[in-house]
C-alpha cells in the first residue's frame, strides 16, 4: 500500500533511550511502505536518560526526524499535543516510545483512514501483562464508557491515527489543561473505527506506571468527562436517609415491644449510635472526596498555565508549503 497523503508519527519519549533506535528502525521500514511523504516527531519529555543525545543524532542524520525537547516532564498527553503542534502530515499517528504499540499496525490504521475514517484507534485485544492488570484495564474502560455521556470505545488507548481536521480541532478548540486525549478524540464525534492488536511488553527498561499512577489516570478520565459522580452523591444521600429512617423505625419498634413485655429488654443504644455515626461519617467522606476531585480539576483549569514548555526544537525539514509550522511556544 502506497499513498500520496502525508503522514506524521508523534512519539512521546520518557525513559525510552533503549528503545529509540529500534523504534526508528521499525518505523522507517513501515512508513516507507505506506507513503513517500512522512515525518517522525519525537517529543523528549525531559527524559532523565541519554535519550536526547540519541534523538539529536537521528535528527542530524535524517531530515524526516524532528525532535521537540521539553524543559521538564509534562506527561505523555501534553507531549502528544506538543508533537501535534509541529506536525505537518495529513494524518497524525500517536504512539509511545516503548514499542508496546507495534509500528507494524500503522498500515492497518492508514488503510482505515483512507477508507474515510478521520479517527482510527488501536483496540488492545490482549496485553502481555499480569492477569490483574489486564482485568483492571478492562474494568476501567467499561466503567469509563458507562460514565461518559457520549460513545467511548473500549480498550482503545492513545495509539491511533487522526486526520488533520481532528488534530486541528484538538489543538484549537480544547484549551483544558488536564488533558485526556482518548476521551477528547471520542468527544469530537468524527466518524471512527478501530484496528485490533496485541499490546506488547516494553522493548527496554521498566514501566513508569504503577498502581497509584494508574488510579490517578483513571480518575482523570472519569472526572474529566462525566458529572455522574455528582448525581451519585444525591442518590447516596437519599439511600443513607432511607436506611437511617428504617433503622429508627426498627429501633422504636423494638423499644415499644420491650415496654409491652414482648421483648425482654430494649435494644442497647451504644452500638446503634456507634454504627449510625460510622455510617454517616463514611457517606460524608465519600461525598467530600468526589467534590474535592472536581474542585481539583477546576483549580488546575482556572490557573491557565501552559500545558507544556518547549526548550528547543531540532527541525531540519524544508519550509512547509502551507505555512503549517505549528505552535512551538506551548499551549
CATH number, domain containing residue 199: 3.90.550.10
Contact 63, 89 (CB under 8 A): no
In a domain, 222, yes or no: no
25 and 98 together in one domain: yes
Residues 122, 47, 311, 69: is their CA dihedral positive or negative? negative
In a domain, 310, yes or no: yes
164 and 291 together in one domain: no
23 and 102 together in one domain: yes
Specify the pLDDT at position 328: 46
In a domain, 287, yes or no: yes
Specify the pLDDT at position 299: 87
Q: Identify any residues that bridge with 198 across adjacent strands, giving them in sequence order.
A: 126
Strands (E), the chain: 7-13, 38-44, 65-70, 91-96, 119-127, 156-163, 192-199, 310-315
56 and 187 together in one domain: yes
234 and 202 together in one domain: no
In a domain, 328, yes or no: no
Specify the pLDDT at position 268: 67
In a domain, 186, yes or no: yes
- pLDDT means over runs of 10, the chain (331 residues): 88 94 96 95 95 95 96 95 97 95 96 96 86 82 85 91 97 91 93 93 74 78 82 80 77 77 69 72 83 88 92 92 53 52
In tens, the pLDDT along 161-176 reads 999 999 999 999 999 8
Rounded to whole angstroms, the Cα distance separating 148 from 140 reads 12
Which are the contacts of 276, defined by CB distance < 8 A and separation ≥ 6?
244, 247
User: Which three cell numbers mark 44?
Assistant: 523528549
Strand order across the 65-70 sheet = 192-199, 119-127, 156-163, 91-96, 7-13, 38-44, 65-70, 310-315
Q: Which residue do the cell numbers 506488547 mark?
A: 200
Rounded to whole angstroms, the Cα distance separating 83 from 315 reads 12
181 and 279 together in one domain: no
256 and 180 together in one domain: no
200 and 235 together in one domain: no
In a domain, 321, yes or no: no
Nearest CA-CA partner of 110 in 30, 42, 180: 30
Exposed, middle or buried by CB within 10 Å (0-12, 13-18, 19+), for 77?
A: buried
Contact 306, 330 (CB under 8 A): yes
Specify the pLDDT at position 329: 46
In a domain, 218, yes or no: no
CA distances from 90 to 39, 142, 164, 237, 267 (A): 11, 32, 5, 51, 74
In a domain, 137, yes or no: yes
257 and 133 together in one domain: no
58 and 73 together in one domain: yes
204 and 235 together in one domain: no
Domain hosting residue 284, numbered range: 228-303
The answer to whether the predicted template modeling score (pTM) of the entire model surpasses 0.85 is: no
Structural domains of the chain, count = 2
293 and 311 together in one domain: no
In tens, the pLDDT along 208-263 reads 667 777 788 788 888 888 888 888 887 877 787 787 778 778 777 877 887 777 77
Contact 86, 41 (CB under 8 A): yes
Query: Residue 3 has what DSSP assignment?
Result: B
Rounded to whole angstroms, the Cα distance separating 108 from 4 reads 16
User: Which three cell numbers mark 95?
Assistant: 504512539
Amino acid at each position: 500500500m502506497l499513498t500520496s497523503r502525508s503522514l506524521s508519527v508523534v512519539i512521546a519519549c520518557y525513559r525510552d533511550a533503549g528503545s529509540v533506535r529500534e523504534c526508528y528502525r521499525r518505523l522507517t521500514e513501515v512508513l516507507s511502505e505506506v507513503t513517500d511523504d512522512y515525518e517522525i516527531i519525537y517529543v523528549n519529555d525531559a527524559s532523565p536518560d541519554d535519550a536526547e543525545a540519541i534523538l539529536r543524532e537521528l535528527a542530524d542524520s535524517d531530515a524526516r526526524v524532528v525532535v521537540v525537547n521539553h524543559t521538564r516532564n509534562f506527561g505523555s498527553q501534553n507531549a502528544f499535543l506538543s508533537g501535534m503542534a509541529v506536525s505537518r502530515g495529513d494524518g497524525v499517528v500517536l504512539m509511545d516510545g516503548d514499542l508496546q504499540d507495534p509500528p507494524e499496525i500503522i498500515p492497518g490504521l492508514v488503510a482505515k483512514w483512507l477508507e474515510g475514517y478521520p479517527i482510527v484507534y488501536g483496540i488492545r485485544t490482549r496485553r502481555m501483562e499480569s492477569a490483574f492488570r489486564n482485568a483492571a484495564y478492562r474494568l476501567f474502560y467499561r466503567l469509563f464508557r458507562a460514565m461518559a455521556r457520549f460513545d467511548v470505545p473500549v480498550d482503545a488507548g492513545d495509539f491511533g491515527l487522526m486526520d488533520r481536521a481532528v488534530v486541528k480541532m484538538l489543538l484549537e478548540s480544547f484549551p483544558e489543561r488536564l488533558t485526556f486525549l482518548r476521551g477528547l478524540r471520542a468527544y469530537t464525534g468524527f466518524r471512527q473505527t478501530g484496528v485490533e492488536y496485541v499490546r506488547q511488553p516494553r522493548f527496554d527498561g521498566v514501566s513508569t506506571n504503577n498502581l497509584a499512577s494508574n488510579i490517578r489516570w483513571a480518575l482523570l478520565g472519569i472526572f474529566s468527562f462525566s458529572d455522574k459522580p455528582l448525581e451519585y452523591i444525591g442518590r447516596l444521600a437519599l439511600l443513607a436517609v432511607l436506611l437511617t429512617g428504617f433503622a429508627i423505625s426498627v429501633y422504636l419498634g423494638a423499644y415499644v415491644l420491650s415496654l409491652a413485655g414482648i421483648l425482654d429488654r430494649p435494644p442497647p443504644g451504644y452500638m446503634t449510635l456507634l454504627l449510625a455515626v460510622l455510617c454517616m461519617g463514611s457517606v460524608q467522606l465519600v461525598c467530600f472526596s468526589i467534590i474535592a476531585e472536581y474542585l481539583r480539576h477546576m483549580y488546575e483549569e482556572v490557573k491557565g498555565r501552559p500545558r507544556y514548555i518547549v526548550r528547543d526544537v531540532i527541525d531540519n525539514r524544508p519550509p512547509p508549503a502551507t505555512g503549517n509550522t505549528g505552535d512551538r511556544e506551548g499551549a
